[in-house]
Amino acid sequence: MAMSEEQMTRRRWLDMFVKMAAGVTAVALSVPTFVMLIVPAFRREKAPWIRVGHISEFRPNEPKAVTLSYQRRDGWVIRTARTTVYVVVTGDGKVKVLSNICTHANCAVRWERSKQAFFCPCHDGYFAIDGSVKSGPPTRPLDEFPHKIEGGEIFVRLQT
């Protein structure tokens, strides 16, 4: 049985309406899903303050290595990372939190009490107690991390 022209038009309109409704629904569902999956990969969260220790644990002019364990977000993944820093309290009570990574080629430095310097064994680099270069191939000082002291507790922010 043949359809009238009016039935054809109604059927086409209905067909078009159903397809448009399906399209709108698909977009409405996919946009939030897409945003939920993609946004975390680009989100840059401010690094948290990590407790290093109470100021009374550190003696003046005796840098002390502290290994910190903290949660680090990497896109969708949250990992536990570890970093070693040196806490330096100067004679006048000022605090510095220095990286233990040599700025020449990323070897780990260690405090040499007898030489009163940070020593890098890879290429015999030396850094002063404030992190500045004393001798050897490094051309810039040890990196310093931002820190704060609250109620005698030292906190450091590792990512800038």
* Interface residue with ligand FES, options 105, 140, 149, 153 (CB under 6 A): 105
CA 35 vs CA 30, 31, 43, 72, 137: distances in Å: 9, 6, 11, 22, 47
* Interface residue with ligand FES, options 115, 123, 140, 148 (CB under 6 A): 123
* Interface residue with ligand FES, options 55, 65, 95, 107 (CB under 6 A): 107
Q: What is the 3-state secondary structure (H, E, C) of 115-129?
A: CCEEEECCCCEEECC
- Residue 133 CB, shortest distance to ligand FES, in Å, is 10
Give residues with Cβ within 8 angstroms of 141, minimum separation 6.
Answer: 103, 127, 130, 131, 132, 133
Under the criterion CB under 6 A, does residue 122 sit at the interface with ligand FES? Answer: yes
Q: CB under 6 A: which stretch of 9-17, 23-31, 70-78, 131-139 binds ligand FES? A: 131-139
Region of residue 106 (phi > 0: left; psi between -120 and 50: alpha; otherwise: beta): left
- Residue 52 CB, shortest distance to ligand FES, in Å, is 24
* Interface residue with ligand FES, options 49, 64, 130, 137 (CB under 6 A): 137
Cα gap 112→56, rounded to integer Å: 22
Under the criterion CB under 6 A, does residue 95 sit at the interface with ligand FES? Answer: no
Q: Which residues bind ligand FES (CB under 6 A)?
A: 102, 104-105, 107, 120, 122-123, 125, 136-138
